[in-house]
Amino acid sequence: MRRGSPDASSLRLPGPWTHRAVSANGIRLHVAECDGGGPLVVLLHGFPEFWWSWRHQLPALAERGHRVVAADLRGYGESDKPPRGYDLWTLAGDVAGLIRRSGNRGPTSSDTAGAAWSPGR
């Protein structure tokens, strides 16, 4: 018996954040966001996690004046799961698209944090 994907609403866990979808690099990425009104900070989960890994940092960084976005990367959580594109080059394009589509209010950059993401060898 083949199991389907989990119900998307089961991954939209409640908290002081909002959930939305962002189109980036040809796919749809799910993000949880806390808006502290300042510069953008993008948080990227490790393997095999999803945005929930950053649940404590989201409000903490927003309280310090940052706009914080924690994304479900390609193939994880509620984001699209295309059949290919799981290399680091494509991941970089996904993140660059996410930063552009998140309405970065700074001149050209954002702060980005990641947690031990490795596609294997």
Q: What is the per-residue pLDDT for 48?
A: 85
Does residue 79 surpass a pLDDT of 70? Answer: yes
> Mean pLDDT throughout 19-24?
95
- Please give the residue that has the higher pLDDT: either 19 or 115: 19
Which domains does the chain possess? 15-114 (3.40.50.1820)
Mean pLDDT of the chain: 84
Separation of first and last alpha carbons in the chain: 30
Burial class of 62 by CB neighbour count within 10 A (0 to 12, 13 to 18, 19+): buried
Does residue 9 surpass a pLDDT of 70? Answer: no
Does residue 91 surpass a pLDDT of 70? Answer: yes
> What does the pLDDT look like over 97-119, one tens digit per residue?
999 888 765 545 566 666 655 55
User: Confidence class of residue 46 from pLDDT cuts 50, 70 and 90?
Assistant: confident
**Long-range pairs for 78-83 at CB < 8 Å and ≥24 separation?**
78/8, 78/11, 78/12, 78/21, 78/30, 78/50, 79/27, 79/28, 79/29, 79/30, 80/27, 80/28, 80/29, 81/5, 82/27
